[in-house]
Amino acid sequence: MRKVKLKVIGVSYSQTQSGAYALILAEENGNRRVPVIIGGFEAQAIVIKLENITPPRPLTHDLLLLFAREFGVAVLEVFIYKLEEGIFFSKLVCNNGEKEILIDSRTSDAVALALRFGCPVYMAEDVLDKAGIFIPPSNTDDDDTGSAINSILEPEKIKYDSYSNDELSKMIEEAIKTENYEKAASIRDEMERRKRRKKQ
């Protein structure tokens, strides 16, 4: 079974399912994108890692990373191998130093773990053929995660234009303390946009 390497583009609020989010995966050497509908908790876990936000306490996926490392288990790759009735099926390819172990996983959890372990994500070619959406090359130049994620876990956009960078930094710290990672990610995006504008 041929595997195609994917990269995580980001997460956006799903326009088709209320309370759901779309994890966007992209073919690494191609122009196809794969939207995967995921829940809010999993979306938060993925966005936190993409945005390099450090929570005050380890979240579930961070805890799994620490647990695995303590017992000498590594996740080598994530393999999305099947699509059935709109549901993607994934496996974690793990190694405990002696043998390779395959563990079934929800795709959202698998991707959240892949980001933490720094391992690649693959999809079976036949699944990509079914689920992939072709994007013309001229529209694929958005590898910058901040610009790719249009709405990071905030259904209503907050306007941050009137705040200074210092105020935004304090707001991020406060959001992290109260574990409002959605807000922290949104503010960080605004600060990144300001940095990019200054460089132009």
The position carrying tokens 């053929």 is: 129
Give every strand in the sheet of 87-95, ordered side by side: 100-106, 87-95, 74-84, 121-124, 3-13, 21-27, 32-38, 133-134
Query: Sorting pLDDT into bands at 50, 70 and 90, what band is 17?
Result: low
pLDDT band at 14 (very low <50, low <70, confident <90, very high): low
- CA-based nearest residue to 146, from 185, 199, 116: 185
Query: What pTM, to 2 d.p., does this model score?
Result: 0.70
pLDDT digit string, tens, across residues 127-176: 999 888 877 665 544 444 334 334 333 433 446 777 888 888 888 888 77
At 64-98, the pLDDT tens digits run 999 999 999 999 999 999 999 889 999 999 999 99
Report domain extents, the chain. Answer: 3-153
Handedness of CA 151, 7, 53, 199 (dihedral sign): negative
CA atoms of 65 and 187, how far apart (whole Å): 27
Rounded to whole angstroms, the Cα distance separating 110 from 78 reads 6
Q: Which two tokens stand for residue 45?
A: 């876990």
The secondary structure of the chain as a DSSP string is --EEEEEEEEEEE-SSSTT-EEEEEEETTSSEEEEEEE-HHHHHHHHHHHTT---SS--HHHHHHHHHHHTT-EEEEEEEEEEETTEEEEEEEEE-SS-EEEEEEEHHHHHHHHHHHT--EEEEHHHHHHH-EE--GGG----SHHHH-SSSS-SSPPP-TTS-HHHHHHHHHHHHHTT-HHHHHHHHHHHHHHHHHHH-
- The CATH classification number of 3-153 equals 3.10.690.10
